[in-house]
Amino acid sequence: MQPLTESDIRNSLVNATASDSARMGLPGLHEVLWDEREYLGWRDPRTPQRAYIVLWRDGEAVGLVLRAADNRMKAGNAMCSLCQTPRPSGQVALFSAPRAGEAGRDGNTVGTYICSDLACSLTIRIVPPAYDMQPDPAVIVERRIATLQTRLGAFTDTVLAG
C-alpha cells in the first residue's frame, strides 16, 4: 500500500461530513508498515464503535466511516467477509457504513462482518505450515491478498453506489 498522510486520510472520506472528518481520531501513521497492508483500518479510541478504512483506488485515497454493531455475536465461530478468516465470534463484528452521497444522508447503510481489530492485512500474511498436499505457502498468501483486495473493492463499490 502506498503511504497515507493525515491530509490524505481526512480528505478521503466518501461517506462522512467535513465535521466528521475534522474530529476523526487518527492512528500513529509513523508506525504503519505500508508494504504489508492492502488498506489502513482502525477504530477510534475516543468512540470505540466508530471505525475507518482507507484504501487506494485508481491512484486516489478512498476512506470509509464504519460503525460497529452494539450487539455481540453469540459464542462460537465466525468468518470475516473481507479476509475470509475463521475466528472466534468475539473477534468478528458487524460493521455498517453509510452509503456515499444523498443515500447515506437519508440513512441508507450497508453492512458486513469484518475482523474486530480491522487487521485483515496482518492476518492473511500468517504463513500456514507446509505439508505435501498444500501448495507453496507463498502462493497461499498471494491468493489471500488477492481475495482481500477483491472483497474490499466490492464492499467499497457498494458504499460508493449510494
Average pLDDT estimate for 61-78: 90
Q: How far is CA 79 from CA 64, 65, 113, 141, 159, in A?
A: 21, 21, 7, 17, 21
Confidence of residue 58 (pLDDT cuts 50, 70, 90): very high
Closest CA to 60 of 98, 14, 128: 14
For the chain, the residue count is 162
CA separation, residue 137 to residues 11, 32, 62, 119 (Å): 38, 24, 31, 20
The pTM of the full predicted model, rounded to 2 decimals, is 0.92
* 77 falls within a domain: yes
Question: Looking at the 3D structure of the chain, how many domains does it have?
Answer: 1
- Do the domain assignments include residue 71? yes
Q: Which domain holds residue 102?
A: 6-160
Residue 139 inside a domain? The answer is: yes
Q: Is residue 103 part of a domain?
A: yes
- Mean pLDDT of all residues belonging to the chain: 93
Residue 62 above 90 pLDDT? Answer: yes
Residue 63 domain-assigned (yes or no) = yes
Going by pLDDT thresholds of 50, 70 and 90, the confidence category of residue 82 is very high
Q: Tens digits of per-residue pLDDT, 106-149?
A: 999 999 999 999 999 999 999 877 777 777 888 889 999 999 99
Per-residue model confidence (pLDDT) at position 129? 78
Look at residue 1 and tell me if it is in a domain. no
Please report whether residue 112 resides in a domain: yes
141 located within any domain: yes
